[in-house]
Structure 1
Amino acid sequence: MPILAYKEQRILSPQQLRKLSEHKYSCFSASLLDPLLQPWWNWLVSQTPLWLAPNLITIVGLILNIVTTLILICYSPNGVEPPPRWTCFLCALGLFVYQSLDSIDGKQARRTNTSSPLGELFDHGCDSISTIFVALSACISCQLGHYPNWLFFQCFCAIALFYCAHWQTYVSGTMRFGRIDVTEAQFSIIAIHLVSAVLGPEIWLTKMPYLECETRCLPFYMASGVDFSLALRYSKSILNEGCGKNGSSVAGTSVLSPSIPLTLVVLPALMIAQKSPENIFTEHASVFILAFGMVAAKITNKLVIAHMTKAEMEYLDWSLLGPALLFLNQYFNCIVPEIWLLWFTLAWGTQDLLRYCAQVCLEICQHLRIDLFRIPYGPKVLNTSSVGSQSNVGADKNGGTSHRKSKSKAH
């Protein structure tokens, strides 16, 4: 597909749009914290104006989370320098606000009868981007840049596990949350930021009594244990819970097929980081993680769409251009400075992700006759029993709804 024709090319076929209209959100949650946080989420959504669109709530939280993390990155781009305490507090606040808003968007959709498949897609799309910034901010707060291999492992583990969560959804048809999952991870990272804010980031450099390791190793050893258990759970689900014919995915494809796009992101990232003559990962850790994170977010969004439309997932993607150029540049002994190509990878991946998401949202809005950031009718209509009886809602992990809505009640 020519690059210049990207904007004009429709991403979703008529069959995919039809399947999308028929999609029903399926979720199971055994989270420890979700039930405890329900009163807070219920109170928060009750204070939210009815005119505020659910997707607008989600995007506001994401922007705040990104901005607070970028401030932290500015003071410690490689995770080596101790960031100011106030930047750690800002990250904790930004993540808490994002987590709260992300938890009430489904509830707001139910209140306003604006549920649609677009809401579910938009929510997961924002989460795919947030995951990168949240993982990176936690590593910087602990100054994990002193251990580049640990920094790489933790950040790419978060990216890969988020992808695997949607991989098992693509296979089984149901999004599953364990007892220790997303919510627990988010509040653990909030706690890390608060410790850095109150006691100073230097606290993570102190030696733990009776143990020959620094304090910062403790949360990441625990995180590694959780990562391992999640990986086992996802692997079991992927290999044994295919809901399609003969144990295949929802699209009737091989349950292992989504492994290819993930491998095309993680494996080149590892090879480029390890073989770089300019130590590109060590010297530019934040740029490196953000660059490959945007590529990972793009393939994750494509996986979510493949699940919701019951379609086969494409393996190759234009977002892989940046990693491919970095790899080829190393193969030919770095004829171009690596940092130039790394910044290109970040810029190209970011614009490609934004253009793709914008195009998909536009196509879905046109098909369902809905608006992305606006509720197209007044509160009086929202309270009528006729609209409420037509709504097609299903409980999400937060006790709210996935944002599903039929064309018949779009206006």
Structure 2
Amino acid sequence: MGYIPEHLLENLRNYKYRGADKSLVSRYVLNPFWNWFVTLWPLSVAPNTITLTGLCIIIFNFATLIYYDPLYLVERDGYHEPPHWVYFTWGIGLFLYQTLDAIDGKQARRTGMAGPLGEMFDHGCDALNTTLGCLLANRALGLGRSWWTVASQIATLANFYLTTWEEYHTGVLFLGYFSGPVEGILMIVVIYFITGIFGPSIWENKIWTVLHLEHVSYLKKVPNIPLNKALIVFAIIGLAVNIFHSYLNVRQASRSSFGRPRQNSSYPPLVLLMPFVASTAIQIAWLSHPEYNNSYILHSASFVPFVLAWGFQFAHQVGRMILAHVTSAPFPLFDWIWIWSIIGAVDANLPHLIGRSPIFQTSPRHTAYVVWATLIISMLAYARFVTLVIRDITNYLGIACFTVRKKDEHGVWKSAQPEAKML
């Protein structure tokens, strides 16, 4: 069984990528560098290979976190401080990821491999990087296992979901003057470097104290919170601004011929934001359950696998959204992969719901079993989704995922589509 209905396969040939990047940093600083950097790659290297290489760098960064801070993953209240040089490798790795994520589209244009497969592959890797990057950034900020890390995860995933929701309705991937893939990543790179120099404790300093504004009268009513928490607050404010601008773009597209308004959806665009709200509410319900026999997840060793399972479920969710975008299919309102987290959330909240103890999560060890099982199932489900989608697209279009198409006797790329992925 595949994820693409047979009657929608033809829409793959009609797919055209369109993007709009208003970032001044991208236009005047990074894009000239990216145009040069892509020329270093031979034409025999497939764009998806470059994309996957970038994701592998982030996975390596996460592996160094677990290696140098094993207590983050195995002990309830323990931490090991990684060597300061590790944070520099995270910064370099994230910058390389951003660079490779930017040039894979340019490589697709050079090799004639632009199309729906590249769109799916690129967004799929980005979705996984979102959660891994969130865990790394919050560890560098010294937030660790806390509600602040959860808030950061929600804000990060919400931005990604919002961008995908907007692209589904408008047919255009919008990046504003300040966007996560450009300025957001550069800010995190700077955070890694600062942490590498001063250590995570630097972010515990109060924001107004650092700015020498603690004596300003009109700021005394504003909490003087630590720098790391202030960054999360700013991210949430930025999310609110992005929601507003995305809504305006979708509204404009629905009232004009610009973009690609969805006629096959019987729901208003704002209603289609509810799947993210629902999936997030499920995770919060599980995290905020009444503590029973010290089985609380948030401050335990189960927190990291919990967030990773959340990330795989989110990647599956937005992956289906992107697939609906490239095949002009109806918007996916429900994702069966949530069932595992629903079971965990209901079981953990049984003391609150019906006044009885949980069925499965009766101890920290049993809670860890449920969380790890959810992670494994979510990871396998997403791997199955990726495998089947790649199979369906490559078989139908007659292309390969990691092999560059050849030119015919006239110098034209075989099976190449006229559109080109620009980002």
TM-score (structure 1 length as normaliser): 0.86
Aligned counterpart in structure 1 of residue 418 of structure 2, from 392, 395, 399: 392
Match of 1:318 in 2: 336
Higher-Rg structure is 2
Match of 2:324 in 1: 306
1:285 and 2:303 aligned: yes
Partner amino acid, structure 1, of 2:22: A
Match of 1:203 in 2: 202
Match of 2:219 in 1: none
Match of 1:43 in 2: 36
Match of 1:127 in 2: 126
Match of 1:6 in 2: none
Check whether the contact 1:172–1:243 (CA below 8 A) recurs between aligned residues: no
Q: CA RMSD in A?
A: 2.5
Match of 1:26 in 2: 18
Shift of 1:307: 1.1
Match of 1:327 in 2: 345
Match of 1:404 in 2: none
Check whether the contact 2:48–2:401 (CA below 8 A) recurs between aligned residues: yes
Check whether the contact 2:265–2:331 (CA below 8 A) recurs between aligned residues: no
Check whether the contact 2:85–2:196 (CA below 8 A) recurs between aligned residues: yes
Shift of 1:81: 5.3
Shift of 1:112: 1.4
Shift of 1:355: 0.8
Identify if the C-alpha distance between structure 1 residues 83 and 235 changes in structure 2 by more than 3 Å, giving closer, same or farther. Answer: farther
Aligned pairs, number: 384
Aligned counterpart in structure 2 of residue 232 of structure 1, from 236, 241, 244: 244
Match of 1:77 in 2: 72
Distance 2:416 2:81 in 1: 54
Partner amino acid, structure 2, of 1:225: I
My pick for the range that moved more, 202-211 or 55-64, is: 202-211
Shift of 1:83: 3.3
1:68 and 2:43 aligned: no
My pick for the range that moved more, 366-375 or 82-91, is: 82-91
1:263 and 2:277 aligned: yes
Match of 1:5 in 2: none
Check whether the contact 1:80–1:140 (CA below 8 A) recurs between aligned residues: no
Report the secondary structure of 2:360's partner residue.
Answer: coil
Check whether the contact 2:289–2:345 (CA below 8 A) recurs between aligned residues: no
Distance 1:117 1:183 in 2: 23
Report the secondary structure of 2:4's partner residue.
Answer: coil
Aligned counterpart in structure 2 of residue 53 of structure 1, from 38, 46, 49: 46
- Cα shift readout 1:347-406 (whole Å, capped 9, x = no counterpart): 1111100110110001100000000011143xxx3896444997512462x4xxxxxxxx
Aligned counterpart in structure 2 of residue 178 of structure 1, from 176, 179, 186: 176
Identify if the C-alpha distance between structure 1 residues 15 and 61 changes in structure 2 by more than 3 Å, giving closer, same or farther. Answer: same
Distance 1:132 1:31 in 2: 24
Aligned counterpart in structure 2 of residue 249 of structure 1, from 251, 255, 262: 262
Identify if the C-alpha distance between structure 1 residues 154 and 70 changes in structure 2 by more than 3 Å, giving closer, same or farther. Answer: same
Check whether the contact 1:243–1:250 (CA below 8 A) recurs between aligned residues: no
Aligned counterpart in structure 1 of residue 360 of structure 2, from 325, 333, 336: 336
Distance 2:408 2:182 in 1: 30
Identify if the C-alpha distance between structure 1 residues 353 and 196 changes in structure 2 by more than 3 Å, giving closer, same or farther. Answer: same
Check whether the contact 2:59–2:132 (CA below 8 A) recurs between aligned residues: yes
Report the secondary structure of 2:20's partner residue.
Answer: strand
Partner amino acid, structure 2, of 1:226: G
Match of 1:97 in 2: 96
Match of 1:166 in 2: 164
Q: Percent identity?
A: 27
Report the secondary structure of 1:176's partner residue.
Answer: strand
Check whether the contact 2:155–2:235 (CA below 8 A) recurs between aligned residues: no
Identify if the C-alpha distance between structure 1 residues 73 and 383 changes in structure 2 by more than 3 Å, giving closer, same or farther. Answer: farther
My pick for the range that moved more, 209-218 or 190-199, is: 209-218
Report the secondary structure of 1:51's partner residue.
Answer: coil
Check whether the contact 1:142–1:196 (CA below 8 A) recurs between aligned residues: yes
Check whether the contact 1:50–1:112 (CA below 8 A) recurs between aligned residues: yes
TM-score (structure 2 length as normaliser): 0.84
Check whether the contact 1:251–1:311 (CA below 8 A) recurs between aligned residues: yes
Check whether the contact 1:171–1:249 (CA below 8 A) recurs between aligned residues: yes
Report the secondary structure of 1:52's partner residue.
Answer: coil
Distance 1:251 1:83 in 2: 51
Structure 2 unmatched ranges of 5 or more: 215-223, 351-356, 362-366
1:214 and 2:226 aligned: yes
1:143 and 2:138 aligned: no
Distance 1:383 1:54 in 2: 23
